[in-house]
């Protein structure tokens, strides 16, 4: 056991040192490229006596190996969108490195520390690698929910500002100063994009992409349609605000009705674990069959798989979109 612990510690230390060295080398290489480009030291192109111009857009040879791999797998844009929707100052490469590090850590812990359940390392490693993505999705869901809760008040604010004689762009500027995050930050970004020359409909479409809500799409469609055909935008925004509030009210009623189903799914999922724990203390030799015997470990893994699948199915049944 001592030897396995030493091997585990050495493996984790080597993994950490390798990760730190590789990350530092990549950062130094990218920094050197940027520094050389700024001072004009980039090599000239073949057959051209002039040096490469400064501030060229990113190319494939400027990207790190990890960025190229993410682009090759077509996941860099998806990760970037998820990070923006979560409102975190991360990069796709950082998420990928964190997933790899956490997966390796979980694999080594299960492989070296839980000897009777070594087979679970091949499940724990890939499962733990998804933890950063699950965290991003959780942050994204909370942020979008907070945005949705603030959205009806913001629509009424814009409508009142326009009735007071302000232009729509000025209303956006006032909006991001009056409302906190996340709504204030998203509308500040839309206002700054529009203020820097981007058409207002394009800036709002980017807003709808960052906040994938049906209410946001309705708002963008209403503004774009009013810009092209005319109409009373303040009245449209008031009606949209009332519609969103009615949806909130209906959603609360549905959550109240489906509370019993959610509780049932939680109880049915917890019963097998509680019964297994009780049997372990009451009849330990009987439960050790699921630890010592190969068929017992296989049965335990199948049982856990079916319980998780049942929980996901029941959660899907009681989830009703409004």
Residue-wise pLDDT for 106-160, tens only, equals 888 888 887 666 777 888 888 888 999 999 999 999 999 999 889 999 999 999 9
Indicate whether 318 pLDDT > 90.
Answer: no
Same domain, 29 and 107: yes
Same domain, 156 and 243: yes
**How many distinct structural domains can be found in the chain?**
3
In angstroms, the CA 187 to CA 153 distance is: 13
Give the CATH number of the domain where residue 234 resides.
Answer: 1.20.81
| CA distance readout (Å), 91 to 57, 62, 94, 184, 212 | 18, 16, 5, 22, 20
Give domain status of residue 141, yes or no: no
Mark out the alpha helices in the chain (DSSP H runs). 2-39, 65-72, 76-86, 92-113, 121-129, 131-163, 168-178, 183-195, 200-210, 214-229, 233-257, 259-282, 284-287, 289-292, 294-318
Query: Of the candidates 226, 256, 286, which is a domain's last residue?
Result: 256
Cβ-defined contacts of 254-258 (< 8 Å, 24+): 254/320, 254/322, 258/318, 258/319, 258/320
Give domain status of residue 145, yes or no: no
Same domain, 167 and 277: no
Indicate whether 64 pLDDT > 90.
Answer: no
What is the extent of the structural domain holding 185? 151-256
Q: What is the share, in percent, of the chain residues with pLDDT greater than 90?
A: 9
pLDDT of residue 72: 67
Same domain, 246 and 297: no
Residue pLDDT, tens place only, 10-26: 676 676 667 666 666 66
Same domain, 27 and 123: yes
| CA distance readout (Å), 110 to 116, 217, 294 | 10, 46, 17
pTM, full prediction:
0.67
Indicate whether 67 pLDDT > 50.
Answer: yes
pLDDT of residue 33: 58
pLDDT of residue 53: 41
Same domain, 267 and 249: no
Same domain, 249 and 179: yes
Same domain, 281 and 252: no
Same domain, 10 and 21: yes
């Amino acid at each position: 056991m001592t030897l396995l612990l030493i091997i585990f510690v050495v493996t984790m230390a080597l993994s950490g040192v390798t990760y730190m060295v590789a990350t530092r080398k990549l950062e130094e290489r990218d920094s050197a490229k940027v520094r050389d480009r700024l001072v004009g030291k980039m090599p000239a192109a073949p057959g051209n006596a002039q040096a490469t111009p400064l501030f060229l857009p990113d190319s494939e040879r400027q990207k790190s190996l990890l960025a190229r791999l993410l682009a090759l797998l077509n996941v860099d844009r998806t990760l970037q969108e998820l990070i923006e929707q979560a409102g975190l100052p991360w990069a796709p490469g950082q998420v990928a490195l964190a997933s790899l590090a956490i997966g390796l850590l979980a694999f080594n812990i299960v492989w070296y520390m839980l000897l009777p359940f070594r087979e679970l390392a091949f499940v724990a490693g890939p499962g733990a690698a998804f933890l950063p993505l699950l965290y991003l999705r959780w942050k994204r869901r909370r942020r979008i929910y907070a945005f949705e809760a603030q959205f009806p008040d913001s629509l009424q604010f814009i409508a009142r500002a326009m009735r007071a004689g302000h232009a729509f762009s000025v209303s956006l500027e006032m909006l991001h100063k009056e409302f906190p995050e996340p709504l204030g930050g998203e509308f500040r970004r839309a206002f700054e994009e529009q203020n820097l020359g981007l058409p207002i409909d394009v800036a709002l479409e980017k807003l709808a992409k960052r906040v994938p809500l049906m209410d946001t799409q309705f708002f963008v469609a209403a503004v774009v349609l009013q810009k092209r055909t005319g109409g009373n935008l303040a009245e449209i925004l008031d009606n949209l605000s009332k519609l969103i509030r009615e949806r909130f009210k209906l959603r609360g009623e549905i959550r109240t009705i489906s509370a019993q189903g959610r509780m049932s799914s939680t109880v049915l999922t917890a019963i097998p674990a509680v019964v297994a724990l009780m049997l372990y203390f009451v009849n330990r030799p009987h439960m050790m069959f699921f630890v010592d015997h190969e068929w017992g470990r296989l049965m335990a893994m199948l049982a856990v798989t079916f319980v998780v699948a049942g929980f996901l199915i029941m959660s899907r049944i009681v989830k009703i979109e409004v």
